[in-house]
Amino acid sequence: MASAVDAVTATFRFYEELNDFLPRAQRGRDCVCACARAATVKHMIEALGVPHTEVELILVNGESCGFDRLLQDRDRVSVYPRFEAFDITPLLRVRGEPLRTTRFVADAHLGGLAHLLRMTGFDTLYDNHFADSEIESIAMREGRIVLTRDRELLKRRGVTHGCYVRAIKATPQLREIFSRLDLGRSARPFSLCLDCNAPLRRIDKTEVDGRVPPGVLARHDRFATCACCRRVFWEGSHWRRMRALVDELLPPGTA
């Protein structure tokens, strides 16, 4: 039995949008918690409801630390999301390395977002039959960022990089992910097939004769095809609507 001597009580304070994951009564204030013995800060942060993927910086008693720091009695733990307002580079971020290439695996229900990410050129795996364990193993194996509205999925051990998606609809979700991960400069719009996630390749007008309606052939000069589904794409009205969204998301001069 644990005696009073080895009981560990620590005070947690969560900042900014991390409070969204807490019960209303605990938001924006100190929360004194009895911790399991030999609990790490990561364990306690997740036990309180905040997925570790949402955390960018942890201070214990004013000093930055990693997720594996063991809690000691009377520790004071401050937990921060990604900062918009000031530079924390002198402090230790909890995640060592950003992933080298930005690729995603999207949870079920995020099919619309997956298509929009493909539209902007980000390799995004999506299948609404993926189980949580499959998403976790794909993310580990392929170095993909997990996108989900399920915080339990982000707490899985193998998920090192993930984003809890707050918005409900696909277009605001895309804006949210672009802003949070600063994707504008690495976007390559219209380079992937929206359905297959496979690269699109330019093809000559002479090659599409018979594969598109005659009116399309008469009005358009630029065509692309997907190596996987072999469909032919052109810059029609659907493309123009997508183009408007892309122009809004990308920094001026990069589109």
Residues near Zn ion, by CB under 5 A: 193, 195-196, 226, 228-229
CB of 126: closest distance to Zn ion in angstroms? 13
> CB-based contacts of 71: which residues, under 8 Å, 6+ apart?
8, 10, 35, 39, 40, 41, 44, 60, 77
Degrees to nearest 5, angle at CA 199 with 175 and 128: 60
Q: Which amino acid is located at 237 in the chain?
A: S
CB of 34: closest distance to Zn ion in angstroms? 54
CB of 230: closest distance to Zn ion in angstroms? 7
Residue from 199, 110, 205 nearest 162 by CA: 110
CB of 83: closest distance to Zn ion in angstroms? 39
CB of 194: closest distance to Zn ion in angstroms? 8
Return the number of the residue (104 or 233) whose C-beta is nearest Zn ion.
233
Return the number of the residue (94 or 226) whose C-beta is nearest Zn ion.
226
Of the chain, the end-to-end C-alpha distance in Å amounts to 64
Return the number of the residue (66 or 199) whose C-beta is nearest Zn ion.
199
Return the number of the residue (71 or 226) whose C-beta is nearest Zn ion.
226
Return the number of the residue (201 or 205) whose C-beta is nearest Zn ion.
201
- Alpha-carbon distance of 238 to 42, in angstroms, equals 45
Burial profile 157-190: b = 16 or more Cβ within 10 angstroms, e = fewer: eebbbbbbbeeeebeebbebbbebbebbeebebb
8 Å CB contact between 104 and 147:
yes
CB of 190: closest distance to Zn ion in angstroms? 13
Return the number of the residue (10 or 193) whose C-beta is nearest Zn ion.
193
Count the neighbouring beta carbons within 10 Å of the beta carbon of residue 112.
15
